[in-house]
């Protein structure tokens, strides 16, 4: 991201850096799972308006002269069994293509420039010769003439934007298409990809592979043409081809054809041009559907029309021949709508013409089968009619390329340092000590460790479908590939064939057994590079016996299969349904339901979620003398991995040392799911007696790593006229996949935490675990918690809809003992006395429905709720939202406020503190630094308590270092997870330092008695001869406590496309007395944004026939981006903490609880949908909305159908 900022500042024209909005856009191609973006954006925007030469540009960082020199003639490079040729002219390019086409060795060639297609199509292993066209001057032209704007085929997206911006003139009507093209281009990919991806490559990829292109659509829509030259024998006569012809099924693109340039025409007098796109997230996300329209008006009538639609079918598996370079591309690309065009021409852009055009559009030969694609296609045409008719902005739908076209720069406030630090540096808002290393790219992760000589690199061969029996594997082609050392199957494993603590997953699928899930490894390839290992893995040919039935992939199907087995209709080796996995009961729910004045029932579903950390799991295993093994890996619990590796290798634990340096994100995904990589590297290292490194491919890892448990819900609720809940009966069906050590835990949390802070006198909730043919699902950040709040908040919304009440009113009816209590509590929200107004405590003041005591830390939930409501002026905001919705038909806003009550447990963390005679300190512990700031809090804690050994001699944080953790330092430690590792390790450090202080006391007393000046370093030097200067410590304050918070969010929805902008979010969170407010703030914001992904973005798509995952990488799986950050994002820590019974200096966890507060965005979206449904005749009653609710779900839930469209 730092380089993205530097590039943006350097490329900006002018003496000063750009404004905040432009600076925000510099990370449109970057993703961050940890921070939630806000802190990064704030830091970056501090450069706005700064003199550029002080921070960026050629003067600040001169580009080396020798790199500016251009070599003439073709360049040829050989390496990794690939050939790279870089011609310097079109003639040379033609000769190279002709020569390569005549080769008899079967080697395949591909033309490349930025080679960005590699991010989508993973078939580099099929290509032997890469021909780089980026130095061909004929393909790099940019010419502006009276005919239009000519751009070479090797011109990048970035140069396209820059060229169009340079010639755009608002005073010239013929230039009217250019601003639209620019706006649309900025929505595609990120700027780093746009600066590499070329126009010609995109168009040819669309033709030959059916790529879901935006460029193809907007250029075809504006009427662009391309020039094609044949590289074959004979004269190189260029031919000009209209793009719509190029993309037609009748046009054949020969294998020796070269697209040389694109011509973008100007508009004629009276013409208008508009384009549209809808994607899962605002930027850096491929279009679900797009369109580009060009039309001319004369005398109030449409005299010409060009309607082009594209990216249709993009939600299916990406098509593409196995050899795209020789494919003629029978079909691929955008299509025109001639029937709709014909209806429009000669008519005014009125309601009648609109109706006829929409009807004609639905009769086009290409009209999609997918409901959402049909909906978007109609919506885009409707938006164009508003533009042609010149509708007022207030009456028209959003008319830009997408809703995010209107987005300003984000802003926010952070009020987190309410408690004055009285034990400095503890509680000081200190930046993470490794932040500068991370920003500079100098932080060391597992893959960055020095590599021993003769190291081997590993890659998996995977079975592509679930339940397929592995009959045989043909290794012939793979073994002959350069660099391949050996290919192992399951027989290489000397110990148990396992890779997980519960032993539910096989490390390698043995021959003759059915695969447990799609993507399960069956072989390991070892080679002299990762690239060669992965290429060889793809060359292995598996013989599989296809299963007689489809895999079980949902809880619904699992229940059907189990029921059939229970009825004697089929056999199962073991039950796949575990009823009563967790049950929470209070009162008599059945009787209360029967007596309730009102009852509703419903069903819901929420999808799972991938951890999707920055660093895919990696491991380095190094065999040593005497059969020992030293292992480095990216895992959250060294002791767990230690045991599994011992089982897999057949070695004793004292022969193996597990080490972990910094981990590039975990989110629970590296509790169990990274163990397979460590086991694989370890087994191979022992078999070969050579070091083995395994940095797994992200797509392979994502498919096999599992994730958050998806859940199906059934509920029945009884309530009174005010909406006060009398009883809830619910069943939660959790998809555990094969299961792992946290599947049951996640299920239990979902059941136990469903009541949140609501008073529910009668409750009966059962968790039912379902085994499916998928990798074991696990504890992802906040396990079970977002699912639990999704259920209860959906119930609240259902009750409100049934009674015709506002959901806020129903929430408060169940949070407070009476409606009048809200104002009473708001008068003094930080007082402990306000707890008596809690409806939950009125039922049982000691414990919740799951039997967990509230403890002595208090129950500040009602105070937080009332304080936040007052701070955001919720009632005024609600009135403003209602007014907006009454005045806008095609935009709807929603406002919601939701709470969190989150139970965490501190554990018996361990630490080893070593002091040295120069006054420095080295700490190791059982906690792993996964980006959460653990090491910084440890150092702050150690600095304070070390400074107490010799009063007046402060030990600075610079004198303390935290080393890598390992099982040779902490033999069997606790886990890193659950948000409490920092406070647990800090307490262990305090314990260790107090032990050392006690051991140093005799020396200190002796020095004082002798009249010597006692300094910290001097004391250590004096004691070093007869006193141990190290000690281990353990957290003995293990306890369970609750964190509380609330969030209010406002959203705006484009009712036609389903796109959503989060206008504002205000969070009030109970972090106790933070050990480091800066770090806890980042954890809070990052958790919230990850939750927003769960509720709005991150849908998992699986092939129902094979179980293969389509969302296995960044192309289809969309975590939130920077434009998902609320435009106004305010975070405040609740200014109250009672110290009685507090675990570590009254601090509280921050890494997971705020994730749940993103439910406020989901509920706000649901309110906006409700307003839209009411607008379009669907009433204001309840409707089912599952999570995540993507643009597709939102638009179809509103259902703004063509009958309601008018001008």
Q: For 1058-1093, write each residue's pLDDT tens digit.
A: 999 999 999 999 999 999 999 999 999 999 999 999
User: What pLDDT was estimated at residue 419?
Assistant: 84
User: What pLDDT was estimated at residue 40?
Assistant: 93
Sequence-ordered alpha helix ranges (H) in 1011-1128: 1016-1023, 1077-1096
pLDDT at 936 over 60: yes
How distant, in Å, are the alpha carbons of 160, 359, 384, 458 from that of 302? Answer: 30, 17, 12, 63
pLDDT at 1180 over 80: yes
The tally of CA atoms less than 13 A away on the side-chain side of residue 477 is 12
Q: What is the average pLDDT score of the chain?
A: 93
pLDDT at 326 over 60: no
pLDDT at 705 over 80: yes
CA angle 707, 1047, 1083 (to 5 degrees): 50
User: What pLDDT was estimated at residue 329?
Assistant: 44
pLDDT at 446 over 80: yes
Summarize pLDDT for 159-194 with one digit per residue, the tens.
999 999 999 998 899 999 999 999 999 999 998 999
Summarize pLDDT for 852-895 with one digit per residue, the tens.
999 878 899 999 999 999 999 999 999 999 999 999 999 999 99
Summarize pLDDT for 969-984 with one digit per residue, the tens.
999 999 999 999 999 9
Q: Which of 81-85, 520-524, 735-739, 928-932 bottoms out in mean pLDDT, i.e. has the lowest? A: 81-85
CB-CB contact of 416 with 628 (8 Å): no
pLDDT at 517 over 90: yes
pLDDT band at 1037 (very low <50, low <70, confident <90, very high): confident
Average pLDDT, integer, range 1023-1035: 96
Q: How far apart are CA 173 and CA 443, in angstroms?
A: 53
CB-CB contact of 231 with 211 (8 Å): no
Q: Please give the full DSSP string across 909-972, using - where no structure is assigned.
A: -EEEEEE-TTS-EEEEES---SSSSHHHHHHHHHHHHHHTTSTT----GGGEEEPPEETTTSSS
pLDDT at 382 over 60: yes
**Nearest alpha-carbon partner for 1140 in 841, 945, 854:** 854
pLDDT band at 1183 (very low <50, low <70, confident <90, very high): very high
Summarize pLDDT for 652-690 with one digit per residue, the tens.
999 999 999 999 999 999 999 999 999 999 999 999 999
pLDDT at 100 over 60: yes
Paired with 1062 in beta bridges are 1051
User: What pLDDT was estimated at residue 471?
Assistant: 98
Highest mean pLDDT among 4-8, 10-14, 358-362: 358-362
- SS3 assignment, position 363: coil
User: What pLDDT was estimated at residue 314?
Assistant: 54
User: What pLDDT was estimated at residue 1202?
Assistant: 65
Residues 6+ apart with CB under 8 A from 369: none
The total number of residues written for the chain in this structure: 1207
User: What pLDDT was estimated at residue 939?
Assistant: 98
* Percentage, residues of the chain above pLDDT 70: 97
pLDDT band at 1139 (very low <50, low <70, confident <90, very high): low
Burial 1096-1127 (b: 16+ CB within 10 A, else e): bbbbbbbbeebbbbbbbbbbbbbbbbbbbbbb
**Nearest alpha-carbon partner for 1205 in 380, 339, 338:** 380
User: What pLDDT was estimated at residue 1137?
Assistant: 64
Paired with 582 in beta bridges are 767
Summarize pLDDT for 749-799 with one digit per residue, the tens.
999 999 999 999 999 999 999 999 999 999 999 999 999 999 999 999 999
Radius of gyration of the chain (CA): 32
Q: How far apart are CA 356 and CA 353, in angstroms?
A: 5
**Nearest alpha-carbon partner for 373 in 460, 479, 276:** 276
Average pLDDT, integer, range 370-394: 93
Q: How far apart are CA 250 and CA 237, in angstroms?
A: 21
pLDDT at 322 over 60: no
pLDDT at 1138 over 60: no
Residues 6+ apart with CB under 8 A from 723: 799, 800, 803, 805, 809, 810, 813, 814
């Amino acid at each position: 991201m730092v380089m993205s900022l530097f590039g943006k500042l350097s490329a900006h024209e002018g003496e000063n850096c750009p404004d905040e909005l432009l600076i925000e856009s510099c990370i449109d191609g970057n993703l961050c799972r940890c921070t939630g973006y806000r802190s990064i954006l704030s830091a970056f925007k501090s450069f706005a308006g700064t003199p550029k030469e002080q921070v960026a540009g050629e003067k600040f960082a001169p580009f080396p002269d020798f790199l500016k020199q251009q070599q003439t003639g073709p360049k040829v490079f050989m390496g990794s069994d690939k050939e790279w040729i870089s011609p310097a002219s079109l003639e040379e390019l033609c000769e190279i293509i002709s020569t390569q086409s005549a080769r008899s060795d079967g080697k395949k060639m591909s033309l490349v420039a930025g080679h960005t297609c590699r991010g989508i199509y993973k078939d580099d292993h099929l290509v032997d010769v890469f021909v780089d066209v980026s130095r061909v001057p004929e393909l790099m032209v940019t010419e502006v003439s009276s005919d239009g704007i000519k751009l070479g085929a090797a011109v990048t997206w970035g140069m396209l934007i820059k060229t169009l911006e340079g010639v755009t003139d608002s005073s010239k009507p013929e230039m009217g298409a250019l601003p639209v093209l620019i706006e649309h281009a900025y929505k595609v990919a990120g700027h780093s990809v746009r600066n590499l991806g070329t126009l010609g490559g995109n168009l040819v990829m669309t033709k030959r592979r059916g790529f879901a292109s935006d460029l193809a659509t907007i250029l075809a829509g504006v009427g662009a043409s391309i020039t094609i030259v044949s590289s074959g024998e004979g004269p190189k006569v260029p031919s000009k081809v209209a793009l719509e012809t190029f993309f037609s099924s009748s046009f054949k693109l020969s294998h020796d054809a070269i697209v040389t340039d694109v011509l973008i025409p100007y508009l004629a007098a009276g013409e208008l041009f508009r384009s549209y796109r809808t994607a899962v997230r605002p930027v850096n996300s491929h279009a679900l559907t797009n369109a580009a329209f060009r039309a001319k008006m004369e005398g109030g009538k449409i005299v010409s029309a060009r309607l082009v639609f594209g990216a249709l079918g993009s939600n299916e598996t990406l098509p593409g021949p196995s050899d795209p370079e020789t494919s003629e591309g029978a079909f691929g690309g955008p299509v025109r709508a001639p029937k709709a065009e014909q209806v429009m021409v000669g008519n005014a852009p009125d309601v009648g013409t609109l109706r006829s055009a929409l009807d004609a559009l639905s009769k086009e030969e290409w009209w999609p089968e997918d409901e959402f694609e049909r909906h978007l296609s109609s919506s885009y045409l409707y938006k164009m009619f508003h533009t042609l008719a010149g509708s007022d902005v207030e009456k028209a739908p959003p008319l830009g390329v997408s809703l995010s076209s209107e987005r300003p720069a984000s802003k926010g406030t952070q009020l987190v340092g309410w408690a004055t630090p009285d034990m400095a540096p503890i509680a000081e808002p200190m930046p993470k000590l490794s932040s500068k290393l991370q920003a500079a790219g100098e932080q060391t992760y597992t893959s960055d460790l020095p590599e021993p000589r003769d190291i081997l690199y590993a890659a998996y061969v995977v079975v592509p479908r679930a339940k397929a029996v592995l009959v045989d594997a043909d290794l012939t082609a793979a073994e002959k590939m350069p660099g391949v050392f050996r290919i192992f199957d399951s027989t290489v494993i000397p110990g148990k064939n396992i890779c997980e603590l519960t032993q539910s997953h096989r490390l390698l699928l043995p021959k003759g057994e059915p695969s447990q899930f799609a993507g399960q490894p069956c072989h390991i390839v070892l080679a002299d590079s990762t690239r060669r290992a992965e290429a060889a893995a793809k060359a292995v040919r598996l013989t599989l016996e296809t299963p007689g039935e489809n895999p079980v992939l949902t809880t619904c199907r699992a229940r059907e299969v189990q029921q059939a087995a229970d009825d004697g209709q089929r056999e199962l080796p073991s039950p796949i349904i575990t009823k009563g996995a967790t049950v929470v009961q209070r009162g008599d729910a059945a009787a209360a339901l029967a007596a309730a004045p009102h009852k509703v029932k419903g069903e819901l579903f929420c999808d799972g979620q991938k951890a999707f950390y920055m660093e895919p799991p990696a491991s380095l295993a190094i065999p040593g003398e005497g059969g020992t093994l030293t292992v480095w890996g990216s895992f959250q619990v060294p002791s767990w991995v230690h045991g599994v590796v011992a089982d897999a290798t057949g070695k004793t634990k004292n022969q193996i040392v597990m080490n972990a340096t910094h981990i590039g994100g975990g989110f629970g995904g590296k509790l169990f799911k990274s163990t397979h990589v460590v086991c694989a590297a370890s087994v191979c290292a022992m078999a070969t007696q050579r070091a083995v490194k395994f940095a797994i491919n992200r797509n392979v890892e994502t498919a096999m790593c599992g994730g958050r448990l998806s859940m199906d819900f059934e509920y029945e609720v009884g309530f009174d006229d005010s909406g006060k809940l009398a009883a809830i009966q619910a069943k939660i069906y959790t998809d555990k996949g094969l299961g792992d050590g946290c599947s049951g835990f996640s299920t239990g949390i979902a059941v136990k935490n469903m009541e949140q802070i609501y008073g529910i006198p009668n409750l009966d909730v059962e968790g039912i675990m379902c085994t499916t043919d998928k990798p074991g699902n696990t504890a992802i950040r906040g396990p079970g918690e977002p699912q639990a709040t999704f259920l209860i908040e959906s119930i609240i919304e259902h009750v409100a809809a049934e009674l015709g009440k506002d959901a806020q009113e129903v929430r408060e009816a169940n949070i407070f003992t009476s409606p009048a209590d809200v104002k009473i509590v708001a008068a003094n929200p930080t007082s402990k006395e306000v707890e008596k107004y809690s409806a939950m405590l009125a039922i049982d003041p000691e414990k919740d429905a799951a039997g967990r005591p509230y403890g002595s830390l208090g129950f500040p939930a009602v105070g937080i709720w009332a304080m936040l409501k007052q701070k955001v002026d919720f009632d005024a905001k609600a009135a403003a939202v209602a007014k907006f919705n009454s005045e806008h038909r095609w935009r709807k806003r929603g406002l919601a406020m939701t709470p969190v009550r989150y139970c965490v447990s501190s554990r018996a963390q361990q630490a080893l503190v070593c002091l040295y005679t120069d006054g420095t300190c080295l700490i190791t512990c059982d906690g792993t630094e996964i980006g959460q700031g653990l090491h910084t809090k440890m150092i702050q804690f150690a600095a304070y308590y070390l400074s107490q050994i010799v009063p007046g001699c402060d030990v600075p944080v610079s004198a303390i270092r935290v080393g890598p953790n390992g099982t040779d330092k902490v033999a069997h430690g606790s886990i890193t997870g659950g948000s409490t590792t920092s406070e647990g390790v800090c307490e262990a450090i305090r314990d260790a330092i107090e032990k050392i202080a006690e051991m140093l006391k005799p020396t200190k007393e002796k020095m004082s008695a002798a009249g010597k000046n006692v300094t910290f370093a001097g004391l250590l030097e004096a004691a070093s001869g007869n006193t141990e200067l190290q000690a281990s410590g353990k957290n003995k304050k293990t306890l369970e406590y609750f964190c509380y918070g609330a969030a209010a969010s406002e959203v705006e929805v484009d009712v036609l496309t389903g796109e959503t902008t989060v206008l504002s979010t205000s969070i009030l969170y109970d972090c106790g007395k933070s050990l480091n407010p800066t770090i806890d703030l980042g954890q809070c914001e990052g958790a919230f944004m990850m939750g927003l992904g769960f509720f709005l973005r991150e849908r998992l798509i699986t092939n129902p026939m094979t179980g293969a995952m389509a969302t296995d990488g960044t192309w289809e799986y969309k975590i939130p981006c920077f434009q998902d950050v609320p435009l106004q994002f305010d975070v405040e820590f609740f200014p109250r903490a009672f110290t009685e019974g507090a675990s570590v200096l009254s601090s509280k966890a921050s890494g997971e609880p705020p994730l749940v507060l993103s439910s406020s965005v989901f509920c706000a979206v649901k309110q906006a949908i409700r307003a839209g449904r009411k607008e379009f005749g669907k009433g204001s009653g309840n409707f089912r909305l599952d999570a995540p609710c993507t643009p597709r779900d939102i638009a179809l839930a509103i259902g703004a159908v063509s009958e309601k469209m008018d001008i």
